[in-house]
Amino acid sequence: MRRVVITGLGPLTPIGVGAEAYHKAQLAGRSGVRPITRFDASTLPVRIAAEVDVNPEAFLDKKELRRLDRFVQYALIAAELALKDAGLEPGALDPERVGTLVGTGIGGMETWEAQSKVFLERGPNRISPFFIPMMIANMASAHIAMRYGFMGPSSTAVTACATGSDAIGNALRMIQLGEADIVLAGGTEAAITPMAIGAFAVMRALSTRNEEPQKASRPFTLSRDGFVMGEGAGVLVLEEYEHAKKRGARIYAELVGFGRSADAHHITEPHPEGKGAALAMRRALWDARVDPEAVGYINAHGTSTPVGDRAEVLAIKEVFGEHAKRLMVSSTKSMTGHLLGAAGGIEAIATAQALYHGVIPPTINLEDPDPELDLDFVPEPREAKVTYALSNSFAFGGQNAVLLFKRV
């Protein structure tokens, strides 16, 4: 198998845009959760979210903005950031050896809501001819490929909250098996809309801490009451090691393992003992032939839901045994909220940055730790030279994806 390394980072997140800004925000323990500004949320039970502060016009022209749903806009911006960070000039690359694999959990929700209103109020003849190509999930990868002329494998992962990690894992396999030398991979999401917020609120999945938005995302605490919706994109440049070495690329980390599994349990709740999550972590370790004791850090799924956080802790204890007490475990969702299909992308970036810079990002808002969840959740940034780190992503439907990174 060919070795695969991370040479470019493109985070578009509620706490920072670009690799440097995102990294600094993590170390500052910044929360991106605020009252919703994109629409009037006053009639909704949940009125907070983690919105992205970015001007799309700085990256895309007016024609693109009219014809692209926000989730595709975010993917294109993140891809541009990743390519620049990697020092790659698209025109100088062999287009047949560059792939794109950027997934989304929901796709064009904003477009769907707007065009549904048009259909109901004005009839089918007034629906935009761009409705379908704006909404469908594969358009993030497709538009990245079209913008740069990349003709390698182009695909889309759609596995809810595991999407970003699944996309990166699938890209790992593409390069390992020789289908491509470079793949832009990750996730994108733009689901802060009235219907999406309302729907997740009805499920009682979201935090209702409307009066204290910056404290609403509080994984592993006794008072956690649900996740906070986030938006954005995380795209990474995955590159074959010799290809990266030949051009003198900066290498953030090596991607050495990928594991996935199914809980086969429930449509929304994880297995109560974390069986599927544990299996995915074991498979990532097995894929890299790495012993559990070699892992020093886990970027947890850690959504801040009562059931999910508990199941993940049980899974970590099952996989790592006594070593679990020595592991550093943090949830960057405490700062960014939960970006659904983009979560795995921005969390893979955070994990690669932790290895590269030697600093573990914190779990903020850890004011009342749940005594049953007794791992080291890193309440403050911590300097630590870690060799191996996991990034966990667990989804509705029990679809799990885990990535294993190695410090280079």
Same domain, 296 and 390: yes
In a domain, 253, yes or no: no
Same domain, 342 and 204: no
What tokens were used for 241? Answer: 């090691």
With tokens 């993590």, the residue in question is 26
In a domain, 19, yes or no: yes
**Catalytic site residue from 23, 143, 161, 243:** 161
DSSP-assigned beta bridge partners for residue 254: 5, 406
Per the annotation, the verdict on 265 as an active-site residue is: no
Same domain, 40 and 155: yes
Last residue of a domain, one of 191, 224, 246: 246
In a domain, 229, yes or no: yes
In a domain, 305, yes or no: yes
3-state secondary structure the chain: CCCEEEEEEEEEECCEECHHHHHHHHHHCCCCCEECCCCCCCCCCCCEEECCCCCHHHCCCHHHHHHCCHHHHHHHHHHHHHHHHHCCCHHHCCHHHEEEEEECCCCCHHHHHHHHHHHHHHCHHHCCCCHHHHHCCCHHHHHHHHHHCCCCCEECCCCHHHHHHHHHHHHHHHHHCCCCCEEEEEEEECCCCHHHHHHHHHCCCECCCCCCHHHCCCCCECCCCCECEECEEEEEEEEEHHHHHHCCCCCCEEEEEEEEEECCCCCCCCCCCCHHHHHHHHHHHHHHCCCHHHEEEEECCCCCCHHHHHHHHHHHHHHHHHHHHHCEEECCHHHHCECHHHHHHHHHHHHHHHHHHCEECCCCCCCCECCCCCCECCCCCEECCCCEEEEEEECHHHEEEEEEEECC
Same domain, 218 and 265: no
Specify the pLDDT at position 192: 98
Over residues 306-330, the pLDDT tens digits come to: 999 999 999 999 999 999 999 999 9
Per the annotation, the verdict on 338 as an active-site residue is: yes
In a domain, 252, yes or no: no
User: Using an 8 Å Cβ cutoff, are 375 and 363 in contact?
Assistant: no
Specify the pLDDT at position 333: 98
On average, the pLDDT of the chain sits at 97
Q: How far apart are CA 223 and CA 216, in angstroms?
A: 10
Same domain, 151 and 294: no
Over residues 50-73, the pLDDT tens digits come to: 999 999 999 999 999 999 999 999
Over residues 162-178, the pLDDT tens digits come to: 999 999 999 999 999 99
Half-sphere exposure of 7 (CA within 13 A, CB side): 25
Same domain, 221 and 291: no
| Residue 194: CATH number of its domain | 3.40.47.10
Range(s) of the domain holding residue 12: 4-246
Same domain, 344 and 284: yes
Q: How far apart are CA 314 and CA 309, in angstroms?
A: 9
Same domain, 183 and 267: no
**Catalytic site residue from 23, 143, 271, 338:** 338
Last residue of a domain, one of 198, 226, 246: 246
- Beta-carbon count within 10 A of 364 CB: 25
Same domain, 197 and 116: yes
Per the annotation, the verdict on 161 as an active-site residue is: yes
Tally of domains in the chain: 2
In a domain, 56, yes or no: yes
Specify the pLDDT at position 6: 99
In a domain, 342, yes or no: yes
Last residue of a domain, one of 213, 246, 279: 246
Banded pLDDT at 1 (limits 50, 70, 90): confident
Same domain, 212 and 274: no
Same domain, 107 and 66: yes
**What's the predicted TM-score (pTM) here?**
0.98
**Catalytic site residue from 23, 143, 243, 301:** 301
Same domain, 227 and 342: no
In a domain, 251, yes or no: no
Q: How far apart are CA 119 and CA 126, in angstroms?
A: 7
